[in-house]
Amino acid sequence: MVKRSISIKGARTNNLRSLDAEIPRNRLVVFAGLSGSGKSSLVFDTIAAEAGYQLNDTFPPFARNRLPKWTRPDVEHIDGLSPVVVIDQRRIGGNARSTVGTITDAWTYLRLLYSRLSEPHVGESNHFSFNDPAGMCPTCSGLGEVVASAVDRFLDLDKSLQQGAIRLPGFGNGGYWYSQYADIGAFSPDTPLRDWSQDERDALLYGGEAAARLGRRPPKDYEGVVERFERIYLHTADNVSERKQETIRRFTRSEVCPDCDGDRLNERSRSATVLGHTIGEMSRLEITELAGLIRGVDGPHVAPAAAALVSRLDAMDAIGLGYLTLSRATTTLSGGESQRVKIVKHLGSSLTEMIYVFDEPTVGLHPTDVESVTRLLGRLRDSGNSVLAVEHDPAVMAVADQIVEVGPGAGADGGRLVFQGTFEELRRADTHTGRALSRRRSGGRTPRAAEGAIRITGATRNNLRRVTVDIPAGVMTVLTGVAGSGKSSLAAELVEQHDVTVVDQRPVSTNRRSTPVTYTGIAPVIRKLFARHNGVSAALFSANSEGACPGCDGLGIIYTDLAFMDGQEVVCEACQGRRFTPEVLAYTVDGLSIADVDALSIDQAVHRLPDKGIAGALRHLSEVGLGYLRLGQSLTTLSGGECQRLKIAKELRDTDRPTVYLLDEPTTGLHPRDIDTLLHVLDTLVGQGHTVVVIEHNLDVVRHADWLIDLGPGPGKHGGTILYEGPVAGYTPDNGTPTARALAAGPD
């Protein structure tokens, strides 16, 4: 029999301090607490990991290899678990073949309809699959895009061949291919290309006809720059090295396939119609509209497929994805959109007694859209599941059956259960979250004065309707609007039209040796400190030297690459994760070994390490609220929000000339108290003369901005216009828009 609760005894994963908890089953439970307090360590790394591990264990070995790998958590005892589904914000696959249609199975049903109903009748449903040779466009192999030379980037017209006018590697003066162009007598090697005729430039790039027109014959086997580039870089089956890939990225761009025009299908499948529409046309309709169209389909052979398709589409609409199209590549979805697409996959499921685990399901959602997510979480619970969500949004806490707060602080100061109860009880609790909920908001602030403006002109990207807008310089502007209204598109346009530094949530490093120490450049300082105090060579304390543990090459862990499975990480037995030989570990500074230093948090290190340079370099990390990270913590373990703050810290330290910073939802993963820290940091940037542009839904951030640009009114083609631009305080409910209403009403 399934237990009434998930009971956990002695959880110690990451920073958890032998935490005990009873989490009720079949309820919606929200996990709150400061960033870094240990919410994810409890929910993902303990509960979900153990549930996943136990589930895998029930499968025979060959099947286990095909399931996701779970590392067994450090916990004394845990029971009351059942199969778990983790719905996080990790982007969906890097695979260009995956679209909103394929990932939600909607495409499978649509294909079925076409195979049964289309005119002319085509036959099997695999004829409508762009992942199947029977259906795919031969030109782009079903990708809808082709890689094409970005010829406009090849040449620097202000230079002569001698001066390196051909920008491609290997084509400059002294390069391997240089003499094939400069020394054949067909071109003048010392005239800037700008002074050549168009025919001459064409002959250089394409050879062939253009050269013939010139009457000046290059050698018979002459190969134009473009042909040669494409032969060496694009039409090659070789393994492409990192450097080649970089060159390809710089000198090519993806273009819509000239053959299928992006529909991915071959001629025959592309032209078949149902209700007068080709499958390509249907895939480019907004989901809301497509649902309306498919409702009109009926007939004995297709009614069940049509009904299944409509229910999928309605589910997407219900969680605020109605503005997407089935053709949309999943690689272009934002983190929040990816998470909601994953939810759709599970909505249709009739399984019960599952544990659903969510990571901030409100990310990317306007306050107006949040309600659709809370409804959905309730629906999953009501069909007999346990729903656990890590979430900071009070609107979600308000509908939860229970809230669990992990804390009291972050990192080593967190890891305990500090509150468990209802929303009402939490509002009265003396915890970080309780205090944040009960605190009274200060009114609007006096906007800072701009110094000129940065203009975005005639933006038409995605759904934007020829938007021209000024962004005031030297102050903080916030971009708002419902999901899909065009905020990211406008931001992308800002990046394209101006020199902008994007501070995003992408990983800062994929190298597991990167830590706050290497990132801030204090590694040599620490090594010298140890050398000075102990009278030995500084090199000993480098993880690349003979001082490093030979068992793990100074990594502290051993990584086993298993041919057909995910790799496995285990702590090195020889050094117990301490990375150095016992001899090196015996040297200390102020009672701390080099491994002890790695284990210090940044805040601790600032006080403990007797060196001003170290404290100075780490100060910015504390300022952005990352003081709880350990010095030796691999940067690959950081969340998206943490990576973003790390990047801000670097900018605080390094940048002195006025810069435009763009941040996309920087409050992701942040507790209200951490948001105060973030706003303080953004103010510091503005104080230094920089311009800050933030895409954000969090009302604290919106109210803090000097200028507001609201996009809308709706998502997709119902949006793309500017509803308001001006000081935040000037946007009142009289404007009648969702953002203005949320600003007036907002719970926080």
Distance, in Å, from the CA atom of 685 to the CA atom of 592, rounded to the nearest integer, reads 36
* Residue 552 near which of Zn ion, ligand ADP, none (CB within 5-8 Å, type-dependent): Zn ion
Least distance in angstroms from the C-beta of 35 to ligand ADP = 4
* Residue 324 near which of Zn ion, ligand ADP, none (CB within 5-8 Å, type-dependent): ligand ADP
Least distance in angstroms from the C-beta of 32 to Zn ion = 37
Distance, in Å, from the CA atom of 311 to the CA atom of 296, rounded to the nearest integer, reads 14
- Asked if residues 125 and 233 have their Cβ atoms less than 8 Å apart, the reply is no
355-359/691-695 β-pairing: unpaired
* Residue 323 near which of ligand ADP, Zn ion, none (CB within 5-8 Å, type-dependent): ligand ADP
- Asked if residues 336 and 483 have their Cβ atoms less than 8 Å apart, the reply is yes
Q: Which residue has the tokens 């007694």?
A: 353
Least distance in angstroms from the C-beta of 575 to Zn ion = 3
* Residue 232 near which of Zn ion, ligand ADP, none (CB within 5-8 Å, type-dependent): none
* Residue 621 near which of ligand ADP, Zn ion, none (CB within 5-8 Å, type-dependent): none
* Residue 483 near which of Zn ion, ligand ADP, none (CB within 5-8 Å, type-dependent): ligand ADP
Cis geometry, peptide bond prior to residue 83 (ω within 30 degrees of 0): no
41/677 with CB nearer ligand ADP: 41
Q: Which residue has the tokens 């001003």?
A: 612
484/738 with CB nearer ligand ADP: 484
Helix, strand or coil for residue 350? coil
35/82 with CB nearer ligand ADP: 35
Judging by beta carbons within 10 Å of its beta carbon (0-12, 13-18, 19+), is residue 520 exposed, middle or buried? Answer: buried
Contacts of 103 (CB under 8 A, 6+ apart): 92, 330, 341, 345
How would you write 600-623 as a 3-class SS string?
A: CEHHHHHHHCCCHHHHHHHHHHHH
* Residue 622 near which of ligand ADP, Zn ion, none (CB within 5-8 Å, type-dependent): none
180/545 with CB nearer Zn ion: 545
Least distance in angstroms from the C-beta of 138 to Zn ion = 8
Distance, in Å, from the CA atom of 169 to the CA atom of 241, rounded to the nearest integer, reads 14
216/465 with CB nearer ligand ADP: 465
Least distance in angstroms from the C-beta of 601 to ligand ADP = 8
* Residue 572 near which of ligand ADP, Zn ion, none (CB within 5-8 Å, type-dependent): Zn ion
Least distance in angstroms from the C-beta of 576 to ligand ADP = 15
137/294 with CB nearer Zn ion: 137
Distance, in Å, from the CA atom of 484 to the CA atom of 316, rounded to the nearest integer, reads 13
* Residue 481 near which of ligand ADP, Zn ion, none (CB within 5-8 Å, type-dependent): ligand ADP
* Residue 180 near which of Zn ion, ligand ADP, none (CB within 5-8 Å, type-dependent): none
Residues lying near Zn ion in the complex (CB under 5 A) are found at 137, 139-140, 257, 259-260, 549, 551-552, 572, 574-575
Looking at residue 232, what DSSP letter applies?
A: I
Instruction: Dig out the tokens for 387 from the structure.
Output: 């729903």
278/362 with CB nearer Zn ion: 278
Distance, in Å, from the CA atom of 388 to the CA atom of 356, rounded to the nearest integer, reads 6
305/552 with CB nearer Zn ion: 552
Kindly give the interhelix angle for 367-382 and 335-347, rounded to the nearest 10 degrees: 30
Dihedral, 166, 171, 175, 179 alpha carbons, nearest 10:
-100
Least distance in angstroms from the C-beta of 644 to Zn ion = 32
Half-sphere exposure of 383 (CA within 13 A, CB side): 15
Least distance in angstroms from the C-beta of 73 to Zn ion = 22
142/411 with CB nearer ligand ADP: 411
Least distance in angstroms from the C-beta of 725 to ligand ADP = 16
Least distance in angstroms from the C-beta of 542 to ligand ADP = 22
In 10 A of CB 212, how many CB atoms?
Answer: 13
* Residue 35 near which of ligand ADP, Zn ion, none (CB within 5-8 Å, type-dependent): ligand ADP
Least distance in angstroms from the C-beta of 135 to ligand ADP = 22
547/625 with CB nearer ligand ADP: 625
Q: What is the residue-wise DSSP string for 182-210?
A: HTSSSS-TTS-GGGS-HHHHHHHHH-HHH
Distance, in Å, from the CA atom of 154 to the CA atom of 652, rounded to the nearest integer, reads 36
How would you write 410-429 as a 3-class SS string?
A: CHHHCCEEEEEECHHHHHHC
* Residue 313 near which of Zn ion, ligand ADP, none (CB within 5-8 Å, type-dependent): none
* Residue 575 near which of ligand ADP, Zn ion, none (CB within 5-8 Å, type-dependent): Zn ion
Least distance in angstroms from the C-beta of 228 to ligand ADP = 32
Least distance in angstroms from the C-beta of 594 to Zn ion = 13
Instruction: Dig out the tokens for 3 from the structure.
Output: 């237990």
CA 659 remoteness from chain centre: 23
Contacts of 476 (CB under 8 A, 6+ apart): 448, 682, 683, 686, 692, 693, 694, 704, 705, 706, 707
Least distance in angstroms from the C-beta of 236 to ligand ADP = 28
252/334 with CB nearer Zn ion: 252
Indicate the residue type of 628: Y
Helix, strand or coil for residue 556? coil
Chain length of the chain: 748
CA distances from 220 to 101, 205, 224, 379 (A): 50, 15, 12, 72
* Residue 38 near which of Zn ion, ligand ADP, none (CB within 5-8 Å, type-dependent): ligand ADP
* Residue 257 near which of ligand ADP, Zn ion, none (CB within 5-8 Å, type-dependent): Zn ion
140/297 with CB nearer Zn ion: 140
- Whether the CA torsion 215, 219, 221, 222 is positive or negative: it is negative
141/636 with CB nearer Zn ion: 141
Helix, strand or coil for residue 388? strand
Least distance in angstroms from the C-beta of 689 to ligand ADP = 28
- Asked if residues 450 and 706 have their Cβ atoms less than 8 Å apart, the reply is yes
How would you write 66-133 as a 3-class SS string?
A: CCCCCCCCCEEEEECCCCEEEECCCCCCCCCCCEHHHHCCHHHHHHHHHHHHCECCCCCHHHHCCCCC
20/227 with CB nearer ligand ADP: 20
173/325 with CB nearer ligand ADP: 325
Residues lying near ligand ADP in the complex (CB under 6 A) are found at 14-15, 33, 35-41, 323-324, 328, 332, 411, 462-463, 481, 483-489, 628-629, 633, 637, 715-716
19/226 with CB nearer ligand ADP: 19
* Residue 628 near which of ligand ADP, Zn ion, none (CB within 5-8 Å, type-dependent): ligand ADP
Distance, in Å, from the CA atom of 724 to the CA atom of 236, rounded to the nearest integer, reads 51
Least distance in angstroms from the C-beta of 547 to Zn ion = 12
